């Protein structure tokens, strides 16, 4: 009977096919497996802690992104799934004893271990420095680059599997990821070398992505406030006029306090 219903759905016009979760076009372009992979990766808490149906898991995603909560994989929801984004979960599982939610010091070091061929070394250095300044300008945090000795935050470009258990997926989709404060990989930020990195609005802007990832390096999770720097979906804004949105400012100051004038 289920087989006959599936065949009938395939033969129906697109607006009538798969009424519960998928329209026919959705099924062709996205597929159930891709949707499940997306939900497993970015909303893992609902996979592991609750026995939710696919419809309920789609609803949880829609609630996070402030979409119409229907449980249906409509075009609005599909658009979110297709957009380039950060590789960290949107609703992570509770923190484990490994690592902590913040650094226990205000002077942090960083090291750049390699470079993308898309940009000059100076352009990468400048983008990274400016990205740290986004957070340093509103908190007591200070960031200093080191070249030889170990650093709190290690920054690098990599493709696919790169030794941290979180492989990249090629061009598009996941752009970068970072680890929260802690030892070992803690604080480190990795950027997908398969992306086309840029200084300005062509392709993916390194400064904007780095500023987002360093928010994770400092202990911030994703925000569901559209327009926030820590919103998980990449969106271009002019780097020359960028100002840290109020949502991000309040959240980072809750962890580290407000900026202190340095003499």
The residues annotated as belonging to the active site are 213
CA distances 146 to 104, 123, 214, Å, are 19, 17, 16
Per the annotation, does 227 bind a ligand? no
Place of tokens 């908190």: 139
Per the annotation, does 152 bind a ligand? yes
Per the annotation, does 31 bind a ligand? no
Per the annotation, does 240 bind a ligand? no
Per the annotation, does 142 bind a ligand? no
Per the annotation, does 125 bind a ligand? no
DSSP reduced 3-state for 238: coil
Per the annotation, does 93 bind a ligand? no
Burial 81-113 (b: 16+ CB within 10 A, else e): beebbbbbbbbeeeeeeebeeebeeeebbbbbe
Q: Is the dihedral of CA 237, 80, 247, 46 positive or negative?
A: negative
Per the annotation, does 230 bind a ligand? yes
Fill in the DSSP letter of residue 187.
Answer: T
Per the annotation, does 14 bind a ligand? no
Per the annotation, does 187 bind a ligand? no
Strands 142-145 and 107-112: parallel
What percent of the residues of the chain are helix, what percent strand, and what percent coil, each to the nearest 5?
35, 10, 50
DSSP reduced 3-state for 189: strand
Per the annotation, does 136 bind a ligand? no
Per the annotation, does 186 bind a ligand? yes
Query: Please, are residues 260 and 137 in contact by the beta-carbon 8 Å criterion?
Result: no
Per the annotation, does 162 bind a ligand? yes
Query: 138: part of which helix (H) or strand (E)?
Result: none
Annotated binding site: 86, 118, 152, 162, 164, 169-170, 177, 186, 188, 190, 192, 195, 212, 216, 222, 230
Annotated binding site for Ca(2+): 118, 152, 169-170, 186, 188, 192, 195
Annotated binding site for Zn(2+): 86, 162, 164, 177, 190, 212, 216, 222, 230
């Amino acid at each position: 009977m289920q087989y006959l219903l599936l065949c009938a759905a395939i033969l129906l016009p697109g607006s009538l096919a798969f009424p519960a979760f998928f329209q026919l076009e959705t099924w062709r372009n996205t597929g159930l497996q891709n949707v499940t992979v997306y939900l497993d990766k970015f909303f893992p808490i609902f996979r592991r802690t609750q026995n939710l149906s696919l419809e309920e898991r789609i609803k949880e995603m829609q609630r996070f992104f402030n979409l119409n909560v229907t449980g249906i994989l409509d075009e609005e929801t599909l658009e979110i799934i297709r957009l380039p984004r950060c590789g960290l979960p949107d609703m992570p599982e509770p923190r484990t004893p490994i690592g902590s939610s913040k650094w226990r010091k205000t002077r942090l070091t960083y090291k750049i271990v390699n470079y993308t061929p898309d940009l000059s070394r100076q352009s990468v250095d400048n983008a990274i420095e400016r990205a740290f300044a986004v957070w340093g300008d509103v908190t007591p945090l200070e960031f200093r680059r080191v070249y030889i000795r170990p650093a709190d935050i290690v920054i690098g470009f990599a493709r696919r599997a790169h030794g941290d258990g979180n492989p990249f997926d090629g061009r598009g989709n996941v752009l970068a990821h970072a680890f929260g404060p802690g030892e070992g990989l803690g604080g480190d930020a990795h950027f997908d070398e398969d992306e086309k990195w840029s200084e300005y609005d062509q392709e993916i802007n390194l400064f904007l992505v780095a500023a987002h990832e360093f928010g994770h390096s400092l202990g911030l999770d994703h925000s569901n406030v559209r327009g926030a720097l820590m919103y998980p979906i990449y969106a271009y804004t002019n780097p020359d006029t960028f100002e840290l949105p109020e949502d991000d400012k309040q959240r980072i100051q809750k962890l580290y306090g407000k900026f202190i004038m340095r003499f």
